[in-house]
Amino acid sequence: MIGLVLRKVILQKDIPELYKMMTGDDQYLFSVKIIANSEQQFRDWLCERLKYEFHDFYMLISGKDGHAIGYAHNYDFSLQNGHCKIVVYLIKKYRNTGIGGIGAVQFIDRLFQIYPLRKVYTAVYDYNSCSLINNQKAGFMEEGVLQKYRYYNGEYHGLHILSIDKQTFYSSFGGVLHQ
- The tally of domains found in the chain comes to 1
- Cβ 2 vs Cβ 62: under 8 Å: yes
d(CA 171, CA 178): 12
Beta strands (DSSP E) in the chain are 4-8, 54-62, 68-78, 83-90, 119-125, 141-152, 155-165
Length of the chain, in residues: 179
- Cβ 145 vs Cβ 132: under 8 Å: no
Q: Please report which residue ranges of 8-61 form alpha helices under DSSP H.
A: 11-22, 39-52
Q: Are strands 68-78 and 54-62 parallel, antiparallel or unpaired?
A: antiparallel
Distance of CA 167 to the CA centre of its chain: 20
Domain with 51 in it:
4-177
What pLDDT does residue 34 have?
Answer: 77
- Cβ 127 vs Cβ 153: under 8 Å: yes
pTM, whole model, 2 decimals?
A: 0.91
What pLDDT does residue 1 have?
Answer: 42
Stretches in the chain below the pLDDT threshold 70: 1-2, 31-33, 175-179
- Cβ 72 vs Cβ 88: under 8 Å: yes
> Which tens digits make up the pLDDT trace of 26-76?
777 776 667 788 999 999 999 999 999 999 999 999 988 889 999 999 999
Pick from 24, 77, 18: nearest CA to 45: 18
d(CA 27, CA 47): 19
What pLDDT does residue 25 have?
Answer: 78
What pLDDT does residue 176 have?
Answer: 64
Pick from 135, 109, 134: nearest CA to 122: 135
The CATH code of the domain that includes 162 is 3.40.630.30
DSSP class of 118: S
Distance of CA 34 to the CA centre of its chain: 16
d(CA 50, CA 9): 10
